[in-house]
Structure 1
């Protein structure tokens, strides 16, 4: 799918170059090529800044490492057609570092009107039909690069950008996604592969409209098959969903996901952009995350009763329970019984940053050794006293 990108510049909005048939704009997707003689991929004709393969076009002196926190905004625009000026005003008043937009409804006719001074624009427009589209505005003082996270990403309306962290800290992968209500399973699976790749490589922060109104986030349940598959992706990648209030007509369609506790905070809804019926979401990426006490627990296999565990699963009439069900439903049923057995027969223990204490048996052995040494020392002292007060540390004459 061709992708449109632009860049912020001090002189004002710049034209957006279209990536197609090997051409790109100022920021390139990371493709794993080894450094060498850089290939010139594209040129911005107005600013004459050449974009080199794997190297951001912004001079290093203008780039900045990720600070203590990033102030972020996400909005489902339901068409940016007449909302650009409002977004720019809001952005410059609030000083956002990262802005994610879904349903931009952009096409080639918007190439000259969507840039914002002081920001780099990454965008992916829907091809072949109206609507959809996603965009990310990134403060141009942040060093960043767009990423490929899958060979079949043309199926999805999503884009991903790596934002470089400060020295000694990890990078952030910021993603934005729009999932249409009628999206099919192939596109869903392509998106889940991207989410998995982002979760394995860096600390991801994914914002977007996923259109799963039937999900109950309080107990992680859903009625529709596709929504249950989405929840399974969330669980498999250990993601946290941080929005707690409905974002559109009483439903929580817009989400912010991350896999690092304490990374995203100060989440609040902030009205709508223009006449959009979605609430905007404001949040912060807390790069030097506050110290939080982990609520995660781990399984204590040493105290598990695997005999009863196997017995409980063995008594289940699996043939009847799975009769006539597909692979997905069968897996969900099996996983549910597996987790029930785990809860009953495998105890948990809270993870802690403290050093592990010695087992009681080791403490007893150590105490016995100390008592033995103390007794030996007392016998030596008594013997020394009987020999006329010879000091312990002096050789006998």
Structure 2
């Protein structure tokens, strides 16, 4: 896409699939790698420079028939990234979580819900994104980062609804610059 930098991680061993994240060229961003035990098959992570700080953004796809090992890596990744200022989004295929009441069914789903709560992450998508389920979610380390979440019609032939939202972080334009004159002996005359 013209005007955007692409970050992607293709699905290995099969045709198609993977994740892709586009960030406007005008935003300073670079891909990062997580610790080995948190390196997921279908996840991409990058840092966005926002003024004097950095925002870690992650895009994750969690297959409904995921292996125990890969599921553990996703949990490790969320645990690692949640210690930073972050936004984690994607299709997690946990449709049995009632995000408003924070209830779930099943051990695996409850473990994920516990992880989100123990990591002090806020989940912003409260309406169904596929059928009657909330499969696609947006997690943030600070609740005020995300605003104006809207669930829209699917794009193209997708069976998932689009999620539109505003990320509210201070950018380069909000940075204060101070100028000081450097005084030397030559500047002081008597």
Give the TM interval when normalised to the shorter protein: 0.7 to 0.9
Q: Which has the higher helix share?
A: 1
Aligned partners of 1:173, 1:134: CA distance in 2, in Å?
16
Determine which of 260, 268, 271 is the counterpart of 2:142. Answer: 260
1:163-174 paired onto structure 2 within 5 Å: 163-167=48-52, 170-174=53-57
Residue 232 of structure 1 deviates from its aligned partner by 1.3
Unaligned runs of 5+ in 1: 1-115, 289-397
Equivalent in the alignment of 1:237: 119
Q: TM-score, normalised by structure 2?
A: 0.85
Equivalent in the alignment of 2:82: 199
> 1:206-246: CA deviations, max 9, x gaps?
11000011111122121121111111110111011101110
Is 1:276 matched with 2:158? yes
Aligned partners of 2:12, 2:39: CA distance in 1, in Å?
10
Is 1:143 matched with 2:28? yes
Is 1:184 matched with 2:184? no
Aligned partners of 2:25, 2:9: CA distance in 1, in Å?
19
1:286-325 paired onto structure 2 within 5 Å: 286-288=168-170
Residue 273 of structure 1 deviates from its aligned partner by 0.8
Unaligned runs of 5+ in 2: 171-190
Residue 131 of structure 1 deviates from its aligned partner by 4.0
Determine which of 123, 126, 145 is the counterpart of 2:11. Answer: 126
Aligned partners of 1:155, 1:186: CA distance in 2, in Å?
10
CA 156–225 in structure 1, closer or farther in 2 if over 3 Å, else same: farther
Q: Secondary structure at the match of 1:271?
A: strand
> 1:171-210: CA deviations, max 9, x gaps?
111110000001122111111111111111x211111000
Residue 142 of structure 1 deviates from its aligned partner by 1.1
Equivalent in the alignment of 2:106: 224
CA 118–259 in structure 1, closer or farther in 2 if over 3 Å, else same: same
Is 1:157 matched with 2:3? no
Aligned partners of 2:22, 2:163: CA distance in 1, in Å?
15
Residue 153 of structure 1 deviates from its aligned partner by 4.7
Q: Which has the larger radius of gyration?
A: 1
Aligned partners of 2:34, 2:3: CA distance in 1, in Å?
27
1:31-110 paired onto structure 2 within 5 Å: none
Q: TM-score, normalised by structure 1?
A: 0.42
Aligned partners of 2:13, 2:25: CA distance in 1, in Å?
31
CA 153–194 in structure 1, closer or farther in 2 if over 3 Å, else same: closer
User: How many residues end up aligned between the 2 structures?
Assistant: 170
Q: Which has the higher strand share?
A: 2
Residue 284 of structure 1 deviates from its aligned partner by 0.8
> 1:9-39: CA deviations, max 9, x gaps?
xxxxxxxxxxxxxxxxxxxxxxxxxxxxxxx
Q: Secondary structure at the match of 1:267?
A: strand
CA contact (8 A) 1:207 1:254 kept: yes
